Amino acid sequence: MRPERDIVDRIRRSLRARLAEAQRRRDTASAYMRERYHSLRAAGICVRCKQRDALPGMTLCMDCRLWNNQRRSGASTAPRSPYRDGRRKQ
C-alpha cells in the first residue's frame, strides 16, 4: 500500500469518527429536549417559557400564546420577545 493512500484512509476514518460523534450528540440532545417537552406538557407547564401554568388543554400559557399568535399573524404590534431582556422574563 502506498503511503499517500494510508494517510487518506486515516483522514477518512477520522472524519467518519467525528461525524458519528456529532450525530450521537445531536441524537442525545434531541432525545433530552423531546423528553423535557413531554414532561412539561404532562405537568401542565408552558413548554415555551417553562415558568407559568399552561392553559387547560393547551401547551402554552396566555402570554406565550398571545405572543405566538401575533408573531404568526405578522402583526406590526407583535413584540420581538415576550421577555424584557430578549430571553427570559424578569
pLDDT 10s digits, 8-40? 999 999 999 999 999 999 999 999 999 999 999
Does residue 83 register a pLDDT over 50?
yes
Q: From residue 89, how far is each of 40, 56, 68, 79 by CA, in Å?
A: 18, 22, 16, 13
Taking the C-alpha atoms of residue 71 and residue 81, their distance in angstroms, rounded to an integer, is 9
Predicted local distance difference test score (pLDDT) of residue 31: 97
pTM above 0.95, yes or no: no
Q: What is the pLDDT of residues 67-79, one digit of tens each?
A: 888 888 877 665 5
6, three cell numbers: 494510508
42, three cell numbers: 404532562
